[in-house]
Every structure is written in structure tokens, then in C-alpha cells.
Amino acid sequence: MRIIRDLTELRDARIARRAAGRSLGLVPTMGALHRGHLALVAEARRQADEVAVSIFVNPLQFGPNEDLSRYPRDEAGDLEKLRGAGCDLVWLPPVEAMYPPGAATTIEVGGPSEGFEGAARPGHFRGVATVCTKLFHQTGADLAVFGEKDWQQLQVVRRAVADLDMPVRIVGHPTVREEDGLAFSSRNARLSPPERALAPVLAQEMGGVIGRMAEGAAPGAILAATGARLAAAGLVPDYLALVEPDTMRPWPEGRRGEARLLAAARLGDVRLLDNMAARLPG
């Protein structure tokens, strides 16, 4: 497994790989790797000749009051996991390589960036779209694998790639969950034992909402009652909403078909995010 920290070396590796006619699958990460990330690596392995993982805690996607300095970092542990996962190349850029002095260009995505995480974290998706665009160009990836866990992020990246004609195929991978249903996330490491015990209630309640909607119940009342129950249990929802899966627009009352249920809830100082496919029968 090759570890690259220098942009010129990465460019040379890209040129050599292209000359050899081998495709590259990229898994962009911010490190603190867990089973969810390793499933993305395995997916990239299935779909491309070579796999690159980028590890970069992107300052541009953190707001002034967010937890950039507290974001978990474990480079040695990450590299060991990636060796075991059959990764070929790790791109570990220093901040100056990504954002050299004077950098003044960002990617602003409208549409699916609006609302939800876009509203809760102003500027977050600008940072995500900018860093992903740079990573796609730097690595020359043919495809990039993202977890569905960050559903809105996946739609924002898809939109940017389509709108800017980027020659990379975006692959979404289903959320990987713990035995008790909690979606894997680097931030779970910050949950105290009692918070960790409570956290799966979010996915359980979401599953209940989806089940009742599949039986024909109207979403509005169910979402309100579930939100209140979550808050009473100590999982304070920022939002619990049904949306169009790709545009992220609110699901129109009375419409039937494939929707997405999104949730963000605060548990202590951790924000849990989750989403699930929802079907409203006709």
C-alpha cells in the first residue's frame, strides 16, 4: 500500500496508472475509519482495478462553532485498517496542499444543499463539494464511493458532478449498522456509555415510522408524534422529515412512491444523523 502526502507524487501515480489502463475507485474520508468506511473500500475494490482512500479532515466543511479540533484522528490505526482492507493508495494531503495561501475558489451547490444539514451547518456543503471536486481532480478517480449514511451529502456530490461534467461515477453504498441498528459514524466514539445505549432508539423509531407509512398511514401526524417521543427519550430531533430522495425537497402531502426519511437528533454533544428509504403505497 502506497502512502502519498505530496501532490506531485500523486500526479505521477495518476499518470502511471492511466498509462497502464487501470481504473481507480476513490473512497474520500476524514479518517477515524470504522466498519462503514471499510465497506466502502470493499465496494471500490469490486468496481475498480485499484483503490485509493483519501484521509483529510477538511477545515472548509466545519463551521466556526463546530468540532474541527475535536474530530477524532488516528492515522496509524487507519493505515493498519486500510492495509488489511486491500487499499492500494492512501492520499494524506497536508492542509497547505489542499488550500494553499491565496486559495479563493469554492464550489457552491444549490438544490439539494438547501435545508436540513445545509441549514444546520451553513457553508458545510460548500466545503464538502469543494474538497470532493479537488480530490476527484487530484486522484483522477474513475468512480468514488460514498456512504448513504450522509444521504444529503451524497445528493450534493451527485449534483455537483452532474452540473460540472466531472468524469467520475458516484456510487452510493448502503449504511452499515451496528447489531442494534445504530449507523456507524466516527462521532459515535464520543458517546458516553448511557448515550450509546440510547442512540439506537433513533433508528428503531425511524423503522417504526417507515412501517406505519408502508401500511398507508399519513406521514404528518406520525412524524410529529415520533419527534415528540424521541425528545422525551432524550434524543432531541433537529429534524425528522420525509423528502424527495434526490432533490431533498419536502415530500408533498398525499404523494405516493419512493421517499427518504431523514433524521438528525442531538444526544449530549453528539449529533446523530440517519436516513432510510420509505415507500408510500399507491
Q: Which residues are annotated as a binding site for (R)-pantoate?
A: 61, 153
Q: What does the alpha-carbon distance between residue 129 and residue 152 come to, in Å, rounded to a whole number? A: 12
Residue 58 is a binding residue for ligand PAF (CB under 6 A):
yes
Edge-to-edge strands, sheet with 257-267: 236-243, 257-267, 270-280
Q: Are 210 and 278 in contact (CB under 8 A)?
A: yes
Four-residue CA torsion sign, 211, 217, 218, 220: negative
Which residue in 4, 26, 30, 280 binds ligand PAF (CB under 6 A)? 30
Q: What does the alpha-carbon distance between residue 131 and residue 250 come to, in Å, rounded to a whole number? A: 27
Q: By C-alpha distance, which of 181, 202, 189, 179 is closest to 266?
A: 202
Which residue in 32, 41, 53, 128 binds ligand PAF (CB under 6 A)? 128
Q: What does the alpha-carbon distance between residue 46 and residue 150 come to, in Å, rounded to a whole number? A: 22
Annotation: binding site for beta-alanine: 61
Q: What does the alpha-carbon distance between residue 262 and residue 260 come to, in Å, rounded to a whole number? A: 6
Window of 10-18, 127-135, 173-181, 254-262 that interacts with ligand PAF by CB under 6 A: 127-135
Tell me how many residues contact ligand PAF (CB under 6 A): 10
Window of 12-20, 25-33, 219-227, 249-257 that interacts with ligand PAF by CB under 6 A: 25-33
Question: Rounded to the nearest whole angstrom, what is the least distance from the CB of residue 263 to ligand PAF in the complex?
Answer: 17
Residue 29 is a binding residue for ligand PAF (CB under 6 A):
yes
Which residue in 131, 141, 183, 264 binds ligand PAF (CB under 6 A)? 131
Four-residue CA torsion sign, 21, 4, 143, 177: positive
- 174, three cell numbers: 448502503
Examine the residue annotation and report whether 124 is marked as an active-site residue of this protein: no
Window of 23-31, 104-112, 162-170, 234-242 that interacts with ligand PAF by CB under 6 A: 23-31
Question: Rounded to the nearest whole angstrom, what is the least distance from the CB of residue 27 to ligand PAF in the complex?
Answer: 9
Under rule CB under 6 A, which residues in 230-269 are in contact with ligand PAF?
A: none
Q: What amino acid is encoded at 79 in this protein?
A: L
Neighbours of 105 (CB within 10 A): 7
Which residue in 43, 88, 148, 150 binds ligand PAF (CB under 6 A)? 150
Please give the residue ranges that form the binding site for ligand PAF (CB under 6 A).
28-30, 58, 61, 128, 131-132, 150, 153
Question: Catalytic residue positions?
Answer: 37
